[in-house]
Structure formats: C-alpha cells, structure tokens
Amino acid sequence: MAPPRRSKPRAVGPRTLTGSAPAKRIAVVLLEVLSGVCGPAEGSRRLGLSMTRYYALETRGLQGLLAALEPRPHGRTASATADATRREQLRLEREVLRLQALVRATQRAVAVAPTKEAPRRRTRGVRARKVIAQLRAPTPDESAGPAVS
C-alpha cells in the first residue's frame, strides 16, 4: 500500500499576503490602532475618515478576520453545480443504456446483424514511435563523422 500523498506546504507569512495598496494601508492603520501604537482618532485622521467611518471599517475588518478563521471542512466539498452535473450525467448514462437496448431490440425485430464498433485508433503508440525516431535520428554534429583528436 502506497503512503498517502502529501501536498506541498503552502508558503505562509507576511510576504504571502495579497491585496490592493489601499486595503493594505487600511489594514496597517487598523492593526496599529488595535495594538496601541496610535489611537482611533489618529488612525481615522491618517486614513482621512470620520471616526464613525473608521469604526465601521474596524468592525468590518475584524468581522472578516473572524470569518477567515472559522474552521473549514477537510477535503473537497461538493458544490451545487457539481451535484447537478453528476445527476445529469447519471440521467444521460441511463438514457444511453435505454437507447442501446432499443437498437438491439429493433435489430432483432428486423433480423439485422448487429454492427461492430469501429476499432479505436492507437495514437499513443504512433506518437511514441515518432518521438523515438526523432531521438534516434543523428544530429548534424553526429552525421559529420567521429571527431578526430
């Protein structure tokens, strides 16, 4: 039994934070106010906002922080579109089986021999042979003959 595959660890830290320059500037001021480096009045002045607007942004930022820290389910989650796609696939597979049965019944009713499926082309082997031939072909340096030292 093969060991479970481990995904590559994601890079973490301040260098991996993404966002626009204005959003980063607001985040810096919010963190400075929350850490006590400056007061709310100074923070709102530096952002050019009223105190009411500053507190609204602070609340929105903290709410976003809490939302981002909520536990997430492990593994893949099925979305509504994936579920609908799967149901449609099952419906179409049943329809194909039904139509194949109708074709066979019709062929028996009119005494027609069933047709054979067309053989599938093997493109992988052909491609592989072409690559092998290209690799084996002598390069212009090799075709000139052995080098004399």
Q: pLDDT tens for residues 43-102?
A: 999 999 999 999 999 999 999 999 999 998 888 776 778 888 989 999 999 999 999 999
Q: 142: pLDDT confidence band, cut at 50, 70 and 90?
A: low
Is 59 a domain residue? yes
Reported pTM: 0.46
Is 2 a domain residue? no
Parent domain of 32: 20-69
Is 64 a domain residue? yes
Is 61 a domain residue? yes
Give the per-residue pLDDT at 5. 65
Tokens of 125: 């082997």
Is 33 a domain residue? yes
Mean pLDDT calculated for residue range 111-132: 69
d(CA 99, CA 86): 20
Give the per-residue pLDDT at 18. 84
Structure-model confidence comparison of residues 123 and 110, the more confident one = 110
Mean pLDDT calculated for residue range 20-28: 91
d(CA 22, CA 49): 13
Mention every residue, 6+ apart, whose C-beta is less than 8 A from residue 75: none
Is 37 a domain residue? yes
Is 27 a domain residue? yes
d(CA 129, CA 78): 42
Give the per-residue pLDDT at 115. 72
Q: Count structural domains, the chain.
A: 1
d(CA 52, CA 43): 12
Mean pLDDT calculated for residue range 3-23: 75
Specify whether the CB–CB gap between 43 and 32 falls below 8 A. yes
Is 110 a domain residue? no
